[in-house]
């Protein structure tokens, strides 16, 4: 196609240049998260003093800013756009349209009750359509009866079963064809950009599909043999219900005193969070960075009164952030109950995989705080 190579090159150059925007966008997202947390905290404090005029509307508007913060965080990673909850069957039905105009029969199998996924629908559709097109192009000529089977089902993975994926609930997709299959040396290279065995292929469809799936904390695998067709398997995390708390109860249950340690480098956020905790019936200690948090935790731990939970700001301007502090706390107390506070869903997933018990998304208010603590400390 005339001009296709020039357009591709221009797109790659644009993507390369945009990477310099990543750190700046990430910093903006963090600052907005802190700002909005201040707003929610201030509104909560004003409400406690009895000034209710317009506070409900203002608080709701502040909470809606989380959507903007999420988009900025995704932009910082050059990744996904707006996330929506997409039923597995609908995704596969739209992906099957990539086989239109060919002589390939497409069958879709999705059991009732299969979980939806939370994805950038446009990008994920592109990934599945790339897999379908790859299958169509792998078909031998007539009189071969070409078939593609698209399927999806809910799955639960144990830790270590799929490299790169944490334990938990997923949706397992399959794109199965009865085409020519691939030789082992080709399988090792198909994820490399610009590698192709097709006369007119650009070698970008499968690498793009892999990149999109991994941006959504998923993974792709392939099983193929010459003459035996190919099966591409995609695992994507299940969509969480709107009111589901990103938190879990720890294995160890011990007597609780209702004492929470809060670490945040913003003094006003520390103050507002402390006020919220007192309103919820907790006592609290405050720290401005990881070092202070570890020292405070140690003091109570050594006298047999460890904090019931620790809320750690993910990124601080100076000193230890959440992950470094968590490792230090884990060495002191393997049963520490840590909650990460951040606006970035991917950072939260990483922390949960490390062993954090919960995620408190900025901006947060008393209801958010109470909900995650109730789950972690119940």
CB proximity list for 334: less than 8 A, separation 6 or greater: none
Mean pLDDT over 183-198 rounds to 65
* Locus of tokens 């000193």: 319
> 164 — phi, psi (to 5°)?
90, -5
Q: Over the Cα atoms of the chain, what is R_g?
A: 24
pLDDT at site 11: 44
Highest average pLDDT, of 1-10, 168-177, 250-259, comes from 168-177
Q: Which pLDDT score, from 0 to 100, does residue 163 have?
A: 83
Q: What is the pLDDT of residue 3?
A: 44
Determine contact, residues 378/249, Cβ cutoff 8 Å: yes
pLDDT, residue 27, reads 53
108-157: pLDDT as tens digits: 999 999 999 988 888 898 889 889 988 888 888 777 788 999 999 999 99
pTM above 0.75, yes or no: no
Question: Is residue 238 within 8 Å of residue 217, measured between CB atoms?
Answer: no
Give pLDDT tens digits for 318-349: 778 899 999 999 999 999 999 999 877 778 88
pLDDT digits (tens, 9 = 90+) for 231-265: 999 999 998 654 455 666 665 555 556 899 999 99
pLDDT at 24 over 50: no
Whether 321 contacts 50, CB under 8 Å = no
């Amino acid at each position: 196609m005339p001009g296709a190579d020039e357009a591709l090159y221009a797109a790659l150059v644009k993507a390369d240049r945009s990477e310099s925007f990543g750190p700046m966008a990430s910093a903006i997202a963090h600052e907005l998260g802190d700002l909005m947390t201040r707003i929610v905290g201030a509104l909560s404090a004003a409400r406690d003093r009895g000034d209710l005029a317009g506070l409900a509307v203002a608080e709701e508007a502040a909470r809606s800013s989380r959507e903007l913060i999420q988009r900025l965080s995704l932009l910082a990673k050059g990744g996904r756009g707006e996330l929506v909850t997409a039923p597995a069957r609908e995704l596969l039905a739209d992906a099957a349209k990539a086989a239109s105009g060919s002589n390939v029969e497409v069958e879709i199998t999705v059991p009732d009750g299969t979980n939806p996924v939370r994805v950038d629908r446009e990008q994920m559709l592109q990934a599945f359509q790339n897999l379908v097109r790859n299958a169509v192009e792998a078909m031998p000529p007539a009189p071969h009866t070409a078939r593609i089977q698209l399927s999806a089902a809910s799955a639960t993975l144990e830790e270590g079963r799929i490299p790169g994926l944490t334990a938990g609930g997923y949706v397992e997709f399959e794109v199965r064809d009865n085409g020519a299959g691939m030789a082992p040396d080709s399988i090792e290279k198909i994820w490399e950009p610009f590698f192709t065995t097709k006369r007119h292929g650009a070698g970008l469809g499968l690498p793009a599909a892999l990149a999109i799936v991994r941006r959504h904390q998923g993974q792709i695998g392939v099983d193929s043999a010459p003459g035996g067709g190919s099966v591409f398997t995609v695992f994507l995390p299940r969509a969480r219900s709107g009111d589901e708390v990103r938190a879990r109860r720890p294995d160890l249950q011990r007597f609780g005193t209702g004492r929470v340690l809060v670490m945040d480098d913003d003094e006003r956020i520390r103050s507002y969070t402390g006020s919220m905790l007192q309103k919820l019936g907790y006592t609290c200690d405050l720290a401005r960075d990881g070092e202070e948090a570890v020292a405070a935790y140690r003091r109570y731990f050594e006298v047999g009164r460890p904090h019931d939970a620790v809320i750690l700001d993910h990124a601080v301007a100076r000193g230890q952030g959440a992950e470094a502090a968590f490792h230090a706390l884990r060495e002191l107390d393997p049963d520490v109950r840590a909650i990460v506070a951040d606006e970035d869903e991917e950072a939260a997933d990483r922390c949960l995989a490390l062993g954090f018990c919960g995620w408190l998304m900025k901006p947060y208010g008393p209801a958010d705080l109470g909900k995650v603590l109730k789950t972690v400390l119940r």
